[in-house]
Amino acid sequence: MELKKPLLATFLTFFALSSVVPLFAQRSQPDSLKAFRTESPVKLDGSLNEADWAKAPRISNFTQRELDENMPATEKTEVAVLYSRTELYIGIWCFDTEPNRIIAQKMKWDFDYDTEDDFEIVLDTYADKRNAYFFIINPNGAQYDALIIDNGRKTNSDWNGVWHVAAARTDKGWFAEIHIPFSTLKFSAANEQTWGINFKRNIRRKREQVLWQGWSRDSDISQVNRAGTLVALEDLTRMRVFEFRPYAVGGAEKQRQTAASTVGDVGLDFNYLVNPTVKLDFTINPDFAQVESDEMIVNLTRFSISYAEKRQFFLEAQNFFDFPLGRARPFYSRRIGIYKGQETPILGGVRFLGKMSNTTLGVMVLQTEKTDAAKATNFSLVRWKQDLGEQSSVGVLAVAAAQAGRFNGTGGVDALYSTSRLFGDKNFQVGGALAATYTSDRETAAGSAHRLFLSYPNDLIELDASWERAGEEFNPEVGFLSRTSYQVFSTELAISPRPKFLPWIQQLEFKPIELEYYIDDLKHEMQSVYMEFRPLGLQLKSGEAFEFNIQRNAENLTEEFEIREGYVIGAGRYWTNRGEIQFETFEGRPIVAAAAVNWGKFYDGTSTEWEADLAWKPSKFFSAGTSYQRTDIRLDGGAFAIDEVVGRLNFSLNPRLFGSVYTQWNNDDDEIRFNFRVTWIPKPGASLYFVLNQFGDTLDPHGNWRLNKTVAMLKFVWYFSRP
């Protein structure tokens, strides 16, 4: 096969370069932090002036990851932990010799933390060295939370916990207090707890990253196994907790040339925390109304595209049902409650989420209502995973959709070997997954798919390779396939040195090969090929980035392909050569710009793609941005251009009251979409949303813009718990 020589060269280069990588320790003393028991109330105001903060042990031994690896931090940072039977408190002292230069541009919940000063915390309450809670704050008191999965292999940023923050800025720096109820966390039943814990501070104007433990550039704070320990947590409450989230939603919809209609609904999510590691969720008439519209995607390929899930019920438990089959997804949550783009009411369901010792189990059952377009369907999903060793695992997945007289099911097994100790302290993963489907009313009822992969994700050398296959009869109806009956071989090798003789360069990147090679699984003929070679990419110490890429692509059309109405590509095999240049400025500045151009052969003609993005962030209360993309295509059958314009405006009055305006237009669909959203979080777990969505087009015979549909919605979710 054409793939063997590139893969062999990739592996030989990888092992040759790996043998010269230096090793060094990633731990400093102390590497444990003793929690201090408090019986006094802690007032969250960011001042940290309670007497117990002065008594609590503090750690301050932070080490640079960037820009000068293995060197002491240039600014002092201290952390202490208090706790009571029911709550955990974390105190943070971020001293700064130039406090007027602190970058803090955002306030909203789940803020984009990559562009400003922040403080990050990992809590491995299971002490399994692979899964953890992830909390991030900034000097404005903005909050971000997520779940870290499989030692940083994935992160579920859609998880939202109940926790509180207060931050304050002075002439000595910025300081914060974090309050986390133990009911938010899952942990073992032992009377004395020892948790994994780690801290990271970003001093954005210096582009400096400092960590308490595990500061190697081959790792990051998401690698839980490199964390320190939190000790002396004793006699924590293990009360059973009932959580209630009732909701009410109401609104109106008006379509062009039709009368306005109103909608309204109520429902309830009820959660029972059996113990700190096991949770039962019940939902009655769940609210699956989307509070923001899908972005329009211009698709110039022959294959299907998927849209991101935005419904909170599915987002918050993604980590329990993750399955590493690659491009063939056995579970795609947008198949539930949405049929051919229309909402299908869900009557109710139950979900079990548990972590018992080394076993993780997730079970979900949902029932949809019969509509004119779709039959009543029972959806069920089971995911079991067993931890092996320090970072490895095996697992099983089962997905089913059952209707009257019809059944579709998917079953799968997977295995992962993962280590962060290859060649001393390098990361390496190898694994695989196998899945099969059964459809009761198909002539050939069974089909199969598999994936084998390896990954060496490190700073100097990054290597990934995989082989995936989905047979013609593989039919995951509760999943997603962009194409059917294929095999794909992929590999990517990037080499990223840090030359000390170029003082303004943080890191260079050379990519000898990136390859995706698709073949038809039945005919064993090439379907498509994507190759990229990067002779130069660089990251400046000032934050600017640049890359130049050379691409070689191929498409094998077995029949005519209508790329756009009136423009047909004839059957045949097409090879294309393309070039690409990208540039972006440092995102920590008030004005940020990015631009890219991609040009070259396109099927039987040529195309040029231009993209520009501009953002303005004058204060923590307001930011705005716009992007423009143009694609000029010239084919034997004619020429056309696609223009797309996006506008964004974000505003925040405080960390729990914020909103956004988003507009999008392109001349391919001749549609314009407008989304206005305001969110108020009166307390963690509760929220009030107001959403206005408008859809229009430019298809008026006179060329004027016209409004086709307006949807206004108000949604209120409350939260309360009882022991």
Please say whether the beta carbons of 601 and 577 come within 8 A. Answer: yes
Please say whether the beta carbons of 394 and 383 come within 8 A. Answer: no
How confident is the model at residue 300, as a pLDDT? 52
- Give the range among 301-310, 355-364, 661-670, 710-719 with minimum mean pLDDT: 301-310
What are the start-end ranges of the H helices in 19-98? 51-55
Task: Please state, in angstroms and as integers, the Cα–Cα distance from residue 189 to each residue in 82, 86, 101, 184, following that order.
Answer: 20, 14, 45, 15
CA distance 442 to 419: 43
Q: Strands 706-717 and 687-697: what pairing?
A: antiparallel
Higher-confidence residue of 367 and 19: namely: 367
How confident is the model at residue 284, as a pLDDT? 86
Residue 597 has pLDDT above 70, yes or no: yes
Higher-confidence residue of 123 and 249: namely: 123
The radius of gyration of the chain's CA atoms, rounded to the nearest angstrom, is: 27
How confident is the model at residue 24, as a pLDDT? 43
How confident is the model at residue 156, as a pLDDT? 81
Please say whether the beta carbons of 607 and 599 come within 8 A. Answer: yes
What integer is the mean pLDDT of 168-188? Answer: 91
- pLDDT bin (cut points 50, 70, 90) of residue 561 is confident
Higher-confidence residue of 241 and 44: namely: 44
- Give the range among 51-65, 264-278, 523-537, 679-693 with minimum mean pLDDT: 264-278
CA distance 541 to 508: 11
Higher-confidence residue of 368 and 275: namely: 368
CA distance 512 to 319: 33
How confident is the model at residue 258, as a pLDDT? 86
- Give the range among 18-32, 54-68, 433-447, 513-527 with minimum mean pLDDT: 18-32
Mean pLDDT of the chain: 88
Phi first, then psi: give them for residue 586, nearest 5 degrees.
-65, 125
- Give the range among 63-77, 295-309, 352-366, 704-718 with minimum mean pLDDT: 295-309
Beta-strand ranges (E) seen in 150-183 are 154-156, 164-170, 173-181
Torsion 273-277-282-286 (CA) sign: positive
- 371 three-class SS: coil
Long-range contacts of 102-105 (CB under 8 A, 24+ apart): 102/139, 102/169, 102/173, 102/174, 102/205, 103/204, 103/205, 103/588, 104/138, 104/139, 104/140, 104/174, 104/620, 105/590, 105/617, 105/619, 105/620, 105/623
Q: What is the tens place of the pLDDT at every residue in 651-705? A: 999 888 999 999 999 888 788 899 999 999 998 888 898 999 998 887 777 767 8
345 Cβ partners below 8 Å, 6+ apart?
285, 337, 368, 369, 371
**Per-range mean pLDDT, top range of 5-14, 22-31, 45-54:** 45-54
CA distance 624 to 646: 11
- Kindly write down the DSSP assignment for every residue of 376-422, as one continuous string: --EEEEEEEEEEETTTEEEEEEEEEEEETTEEEEEEEEEEEEEEEEE
Q: What is the tens place of the pLDDT at every residue in 496-526? A: 999 999 999 999 999 999 999 999 999 999 9
CA distance 88 to 321: 29
How confident is the model at residue 637, as a pLDDT? 83
How confident is the model at residue 239, as a pLDDT? 58
How confident is the model at residue 702, as a pLDDT? 73
User: Domains in the chain, start-ordered, CATH in brackets?
Assistant: 31-234 (2.60.40.1190), 306-481 (no CATH)
Q: What is the tens place of the pLDDT at every residue in 606-658? A: 999 999 999 999 999 999 999 999 999 999 888 999 999 999 999 999 888 99
User: Using CB atoms within 10 A of its CB, is residue 378 exposed (0-12), middle (13-18) or buried (19+)?
Assistant: middle
How confident is the model at residue 666, as a pLDDT? 87
Q: What is the tens place of the pLDDT at every residue in 400-456? A: 999 998 999 999 999 999 998 888 889 999 999 999 999 999 988 899 999 999 999
How confident is the model at residue 101, as a pLDDT? 94
- Give the range among 19-33, 65-79, 238-252, 262-276 with minimum mean pLDDT: 19-33
How confident is the model at residue 457, as a pLDDT? 92
- The DSSP symbol for 314 reads H
Listed residue (213, 179, 212, 170) closest to 77, CA to CA: 212
Listed residue (607, 670, 666, 698) closest to 301, CA to CA: 607
Listed residue (426, 463, 530, 34) closest to 217, CA to CA: 426
Residue 121 has pLDDT above 90, yes or no: yes
Residue 222 corresponds to which amino acid? S
- pLDDT bin (cut points 50, 70, 90) of residue 185 is confident
CA distance 124 to 664: 41
Q: What is the tens place of the pLDDT at every residue in 365-394? A: 999 888 887 889 999 999 999 999 888 999
Long-range contacts of 144-150 (CB under 8 A, 24+ apart): 144/109, 144/110, 144/111, 144/113, 145/110, 147/319, 148/122, 148/222, 148/224, 149/319, 149/322, 150/391, 150/393, 150/416, 150/418
Residue 399 has pLDDT above 90, yes or no: yes
Residue 288 has pLDDT above 80, yes or no: no
Please say whether the beta carbons of 275 and 294 come within 8 A. Answer: no
How confident is the model at residue 15, as a pLDDT? 44
Long-range contacts of 624-632 (CB under 8 A, 24+ apart): 624/648, 624/649, 624/650, 625/649, 631/298, 631/300, 631/607, 632/607, 632/608
Task: Please state, in angstroms and as integers, the Cα–Cα distance from residue 291 to each residue in 663, 671, 688, 714, following that order.
Answer: 15, 20, 11, 9
How confident is the model at residue 306, as a pLDDT? 58
How confident is the model at residue 255, as a pLDDT? 87
3-state SS track over 527-584: EEEEEEEEEEEEEECCCCEEEEEEEEEEEEECCCEEEECCEEECCEEEEEEEEEEEEE
Residue 297 has pLDDT above 70, yes or no: no
**Per-range mean pLDDT, top range of 136-140, 261-265, 679-683, 700-704:** 136-140
How confident is the model at residue 396, as a pLDDT? 97
Q: Strands 720-722 and 87-95: what pairing?
A: unpaired
- The DSSP symbol for 221 reads T
Residue 290 has pLDDT above 50, yes or no: no
How confident is the model at residue 66, as a pLDDT? 92
- 13 three-class SS: helix
